[in-house]
Amino acid sequence: MRVLLVEDTQPLMRAYRQGLEEEGFAVDVATDGEEADVKARTTQYDVVILDIMLPKIDGLTLLKKWRTDGIKTHVLMLTARGTTTDKVAGLDIGADDYLTKPVDLDELFARVRALVRRGHQQKDPVLRCYDMDIDTAARTVRRAGQQIHLTPREYALLEFLAFHRGKVVTRSMIWEHLYDEYDENTSNVVDVYIRYLRNKIDKGFDPPLILTRWGEGYMLRGDDDPPAPPAGKKG
Amino acid sequence: MRSIRRSLLSYFLVLLAVALGLIAAFVDRYAVGAVEAREESESNRITAAFDTRRVEAQTKFDAELVQEARSLAGELNRSFFKTWGRFRPPDPPRGGGKGPADPKSAPEPKTSIEPRPSFPGKAPEDDGREYLRRVTALMLQPPAAGNWLPVAQAASATHRAWSPGWISFASPRTAARVQIPEMLHRMFEEGGDHTGYYQFHVVAAYPGRPWQSIGTVRPARLVNDLPLDLGRVEDSDLEFLPPEEVRVEGQGTFRRALVWTSVTPQGSRPLAVPVWHENQSYSAGPGLRATQYFYSPIGPSSRAFRPDFMIRVFVHAARPQSELDSRLTHAAAERDEEIQRVHSESREELTKLRTRLAAIAAGSFLALVVGGWLIVARGLAPVRTLSDAVSRVSEKDFALPVAVTDLSVELAPIHARITQTLDQLRGAFAREKEAVADISHELRTPIASLLATIDVSLRKPRTPDQYRTTLQDCRGIAKQLGQLVERIMTLASLDAGTARGAVCRVDAAELAGTCAVVIRPLAEAHGMTFTLSAVGPAELDSDADRLREVLMNLLHNAVEYNRPNGRVELAVRPDAGRVVFEVRDTGIGMSDAVRAKIFDRFFRADASRTATGVHAGLGLAIVKEYVQRLGGTIEVESTPGEGSLFRVSFPAAAAQTESPFPPADAA
């Protein structure tokens, strides 16, 4: 999941970025309002973490502009201003959540995850697909009651597919949501990770859950997909 | 705490009570005066009516007395005449008779009624005459010192009426028996119920002697004589003294009428007892005219025959004063009663008036207590409105929820003052709130950074290098935090006025030099050029540490807000008794709106700078406070995009030392 972190305090920004990245988020960073505006308009972020006291354009103005222009990205206000008035103002302008610095990192991550789920109309923190359970809170995956260990990136990919279960996800979509601005876009990096994931999830299990749509992308098997995959389609 | 309403009302009522009291006193006084005047005039009228009655009664009383006395005197005269009528005065001597000593008073009585008595040789027939004859014989003796009756003897010679209807006089030289008129008998009876008194005085005058009382007759009841003052009576035929009051020793006060009569035969002449005298003249006593009568000598002697003495009888008719008084008692009682009635009526009227006055006063007082209470309440309504409004002031808006037009003119200044105070309070609260929010924000950000850095670092095992980086980050944040707290404390101590520095002589150029030493490397590290120019000797009395802090702050700002490859200049010069420091940069500059707020606390022209430096918008606020406390001024010139100039000036030291100062110039 890709997150835009807008924070002008350098040490804080570094810390949050590191934490988010270690949680498996792809993190883009903006240190002032203008930069944040440009990034939010050009990239489809799952969540924007927005400070209020920002150089050039402050957070509230920025958010107002976004909402006016129809940008529906989930925004989590994260600011040192903690009064009720400030919170109400922020939420009323169109923020989806509001947190006051200093914030517990776990809470921050949980809220970000909740916002991600909300973005996919998913209330249950556990995503289910046939005999596979993806616990988005604990970031664990089980198939047929068996724990499967995934790297953060593999997990992020699986989670992304799960959120779009039964729908085709293009490679660029995957790239957009799983990699930050600093990652180098090599042609087959997505395919490589799909292969890793298949090895861990589908190998030894039936039916295979990750489907390949030639020329389009990948998808996680939905409930109405044919139970038996067509032979030879395995990529 | 006193209630305005109550005190106003009490003042009002005190005033009212005084006014009412005064009015009541005046009204009362005039009413009393009028009533008393009426009472007095009424009393006077009654008294006058009584006096008239009294005078009438007395006049009547007196008239009765006079009447009684007169009738008694007439009777007495008749009796005397009866008794002595035979003693016809002798005819005056005829022919060769010697003229009287006083020729003027020598009228010849021509009208002789009775023949001359055959005096002295003839004896009278009746006892009266006999008696008189004897008396006359006695009288005929020439008066001499020896046989003159002294007063005491005269008193002893007083006779009582010896039988009803008669009184008799007896004296050494005369005696008379007078029949008392029937109507008067009872006056002389003992134990009678009459109240009147009668007394007869027989008074005689001898030739050459004053009138002398020779006998009195008084009733038995009368213990002492009624007095007779001969000096007051006139010599006349039938005269009277107007009734008067007399006091009798041991007998009380009487009202007496005094009538006298000269005993005259035939009413023509007074009775005179002829006595043989030779050229002897009468001398009248004081106040008495003695009429001289001359008669021809009787007998062979040719000597003048003159009356020896003349008798006059005084009749006193007296009644006790108490009788008159008793007649008037009823009238007096009526008068007193009348006066008493008038008096009590007046009292009653006054009482009624006073009661009415008191009732009116009490009524109006009561009405005004109630009315005053309401009126004062009404008058104080604006105060109440204001007080209600003040009590409804909330700390949310600090607005006085009442318009000044709803209050009275007197309260307008209070309203204005309260509004002003509330405005100030609102401003102060807003600033306070803002300051707290600012401070908490400023503190929260580094603390959040610190916590986040540490939390992230602790989430999983790290390499020593990673820990080292984390710790360095933390140190930087903590340092920033410390500086921030330091600045806030500085401002707080400046606000509290506790920060005091030591003032000493400061060489401006030298001070600038010490700043340059620190700033130059910093500026060069940012790729800027730093210039220091000091012109002329400039010294000032100031706190060197603070002054340095001011300059350092300005220089730090100049470096921080500068553009790459910009310039920072510090200039020191004396200027008209002042020392001027100028810090110029070629940075981003600022707009007028920003410049107006630049010295406000927590104001930052660009919020982004928090991320890079230690400045939380307090630096210039502290600079301004310091400059003001050091007695200087600070001003800013700026053009957006070109740079800013901060000019700080302080009064120069009193005595400038003429030490040439080599301008420390460095690029």
- Taking the CA of residue B613 and the nearest CA in chain A, the distance in Å comes to 10
Chain B residue numbers with beta carbons less than 8 Å from the beta carbon of A31 are 608, 611
- Give the mean model confidence (pLDDT) for residues B43-68: 87
pLDDT at B179 over 70: no
> Are A82 and B607 within 8 A, CB to CB?
no
Report pLDDT for A194.
86
Q: How far apart are CA B597 and CA B582, in angstroms?
A: 20
Which range is least confidently modeled, A56-70, A188-202, B336-350? Answer: A188-202
Q: Is B477 on the interface with A (CB under 8 A)?
A: yes
Integer angstrom CA distances of residue B641 from B248, B524, B615: 146, 21, 21
| Of the partner residues B459, B460, B607, the one whose CB lies closest to the CB of residue A54 | B607
Q: In this predicted structure, which of A207-211, B285-289, B365-369, B588-592 has the lowest mean pLDDT?
A: B285-289
| Lowest-confidence segment of B155-159, B219-223, B350-354 by average pLDDT | B155-159
Q: Are A129 and A220 in contact (CB under 8 A)?
A: yes
Give A220's pLDDT tier (boundaries 50, 70, 90): confident
What residues of chain A, 38 to 67, have a C-beta less than 8 Å from chain B? 53-56, 58
Q: Quick one: pLDDT at residue B210? A: 61
A90-127 burial string, b = 16+ CB within 10 Å, else e?
beebbbbbbbbbbbebeebbebbbbbbbebbebeeeeb
CB A58, CB A28: distance < 8 Å:
no
CB-based contact, A102 to chain B, within 8 Å: yes
From A200-204, A209-213, B132-136, B365-369, the region with the lowest mean pLDDT: B132-136
Dump pLDDT digits (tens) for B108-126: 333 333 333 333 333 334 4
Q: What is the pLDDT of residue B186?
A: 58
**pLDDT for the residue numbered B470:** 87
Identify the band that residue A5 occupies on the pLDDT scale cut at 50, 70 and 90.
very high
User: CB–CB of A59/A6 below 8 Å?
Assistant: yes
- CB contact B479 to A (< 8 Å): no
The encoded tokens of residue B315 equal 């009749």
C-alpha dist (Å) from residue A49 to A98, A103, A116, B392: 9, 13, 12, 43
Q: Is residue B586 scored above 50 in pLDDT?
A: yes
A5, A6, A8, A12: best to mutate for the B interface, most B CBs within 10 A: A12
Give the helix/strand (H/E) hosting B574: strand B567-575
When pLDDT is cut at 50, 70 and 90, the band that residue B387 belongs to is: confident
Report the distance separating Cα A100 and Cα B40, nearest Å. Answer: 106
Q: What mean pLDDT is predicted for residues B538-549?
A: 83
Chain A contacts of B460, Cβ < 8 Å? 22
pLDDT at residue A47, rounded to an integer = 92
Residue with the bigger pLDDT between A200 and A81: it is: A200
Residue of A nearest to B445 (CA): A80
A19 touches chain B (CB under 8 A): yes
**Which has the higher per-residue pLDDT, A23 or B608?**
A23
Q: Which of A35, A53, A139 is the best mutation test for B, with the most CBs of B within 10 A? A: A53
B396 shares contact with chain A (CB less than 8 Å): no
User: Which of A48-57, A179-188, B84-93 is modeled with the greatest confidence?
Assistant: A48-57
> Which of the pair, B278 or A186, is modelled with greater confidence?
A186
**Considering only CB atoms, which chain A residues are within 8 Å of B610?**
8-9, 53
The first and second tokens of residue B630, run together, are: 């050091």
In this predicted structure, the answer to whether residue B607 has a pLDDT above a threshold of 80 is no
User: What is the DSSP secondary-structure string of B282-331?
Assistant: --PPTT-PPPP--BPPPTT--S-EEEEEEEEEEEEEEEEHHHHHHHHHHH
Burial of B354 (0-12, 13-18, 19+ CB in 10 A): middle
Token readout for B232 is 């007051």
Residues of chain A in contact with residue B459, where contact means CB-CB under 8 angstroms, are 19, 22, 105
A108 phi/psi in degrees, rounded to 5: -55, -50
In a 3-state reduction of DSSP, which class is residue B141? coil
Q: Which chain A residue is nearest to residue B607, measuring alpha carbons?
A: A55
Fold assignment, A126-220: Arc Repressor Mutant, subunit A (1.10.10)
**Which residues on A lie below 8 Å from B450 (Cβ)?**
11, 102
B436 touches A: beta carbon within 8 Å: no
Q: Do B440 and A80 touch (CB under 8 A)?
A: yes
Contact residues, B window 573-612, toward A, CB-based 8 Å cutoff: 606-612
Q: Which residues of B touch A16 (CB under 8 A)?
A: 452, 456
| CB of B451 less than 8 A from some CB of A | yes
Instruction: For chain A, give the mean pLDDT.
Output: 83
A17: nearest CA in chain B?
B456
Domain boundaries, chain B: 4-56+327-379, 84-324, 404-492, 500-651
- Chains A and B form CB pairs within 8 A to the count of 89
Q: What is the mean pLDDT of residues B87-91?
A: 40
A 10 A CB-CB count for B663 gives 11
For the segment B311-322, the average pLDDT, to the nearest whole number, is 78
Interchain CB contact of B439 with A (< 8 Å): no
> What type of residue is B28?
D
Element (H, E) at B392: none
At A78 the pLDDT is 86
Confidence of residue A76 (pLDDT cuts 50, 70, 90): very high
Q: Which chain A residues are within 8 Å of B614, Cβ to Cβ?
A: none
Mutate to test the interface with A, among B432, B449, B454, B484 (most CBs of A within 10 A): B449
Whose CA is closest to A221, among A165, A154, A176? A165
Domain ranges of chain A: 2-119, 126-220
Which pLDDT score, from 0 to 100, does residue B146 have? 37
Q: What is the pLDDT of residues A86-130, one digit of tens each?
A: 888 889 988 999 988 888 888 898 999 889 888 888 788 888 888
Band of residue B96 on the pLDDT scale cut at 50, 70, 90? very low
**The 3-state secondary structure of chain A, one letter per residue:** CEEEEECCCHHHHHHHHHHHHHCCCEEEEECCHHHHHHHHHHCCCCEEEECCCCCCCCHHHHHHHHHHCCCCCEEEEEECCCCHHHHHHHHHHCCCEEEECCCCHHHHHHHHHHHHHHHCCCCCCEEEECCEEEECCCCEEEECCEEECCCHHHHHHHHHHHHCCCCCEEHHHHHHHHCCCCCCCCCCHHHHHHHHHHHHHCCCCCCCCEEEECCCEEEECCCCCCCCCCCCCCC
Nearest to B452 among A15, A58, A81 (CB): A15
Interface of A with B in 70-89 (CB under 8 A): 80-83
Show which of residues 69-108 on chain B sit within 8 Å of chain A, judged by CB atoms: none
Mean pLDDT of chain B: 71
Query: What is residue B266's DSSP assignment?
Result: G
ipTM of the complex: 0.77
Nearest to B625 by CA among B499, B517, B448, B463: B499
Q: Does residue B614 sit at the A interface (CB-CB below 8 Å)?
A: no
Tell me which of B269 and B32 has the higher pLDDT: B32
Higher pLDDT, A200 or B604: A200
Q: Which tokens sit at A24?
A: 């498996």
- Residue A46: pLDDT above 80? yes
Which fold, A2-119?
Rossmann fold (3.40.50)
What is the CATH code for B404-492? 1.10.287.130
When pLDDT is cut at 50, 70 and 90, the band that residue A49 belongs to is very high
Q: What is the pLDDT of residue B525?
A: 86
| Highest mean pLDDT of the ranges A69-78, B130-139, B476-485, B530-539 | A69-78
Q: Can you give the pLDDT at residue B178?
A: 52
Which residue out of B432, B451, B560 would a mutagenesis test of the A interface target, given it has the greatest number of A Cβ atoms within 10 Å?
B451
CB contact under 8 A, A31 and B460: no
pLDDT score of B240 more than 80 = no
Q: For B437, which residue in chain A has the nearest alpha carbon?
A: A81
HSE of B201 in the Cβ direction (CA atoms, 13 Å)? 22
Per-residue pLDDT tens over the stretch B411-457: 888 888 888 888 888 888 887 777 777 777 778 878 888 888 888 88
Q: Tokens for B423?
A: 């405005």
B258, two tokens: 């005094």
For the ranges B58-67, B288-297, B461-470, which has the lowest average pLDDT? B288-297
Which amino acid appears at position A123 of this protein? K
* A120 close contact with B: CB closer than 8 A: no
- Mention the CATH class of domain B500-651: alpha beta
Structure tokens at B30: 């005039």
Rounded-to-integer distance, Cα B342 and Cα B337, Å: 9
Q: Specify whether the CB–CB gap between B309 and B291 falls below 8 A.
A: no
How does residue B190 score in pLDDT terms, banded at 50, 70 and 90? low
The shortest CB-CB distance from B611 to any of A9, A100, A103 is to: A9
> Do the two domains A2-119 and A126-220 of this chain adopt the same fold?
no
Higher pLDDT, B416 or B149: B416
What is the Cα–Cα distance from B412 to B27, expressed in whole angstroms?
45
Contact A19 B459 (CB under 8 A): yes
User: Is B659's pLDDT higher than 50?
Assistant: no
**Of B491, B502, B498, B500, residue with least CA distance to B622:** B491
pTM score: 0.49
Distance between CA atoms of residues B511 and B650, nearest Å? 14
Nearest to B212 by CA among B174, B258, B259, B268: B174
Yes or no, beta carbons of A8 and B611 under 8 Å apart: yes
Burial B464-485 (b: 16+ CB within 10 A, else e): eeeeeebeebbebbeebbebbe
Contact of B215 with B116, CB cutoff 8 Å: no
pLDDT digits (tens, 9 = 90+) for B588-597: 778 887 777 7
Q: At which residue do the structure tokens 């007051």 appear?
A: B232
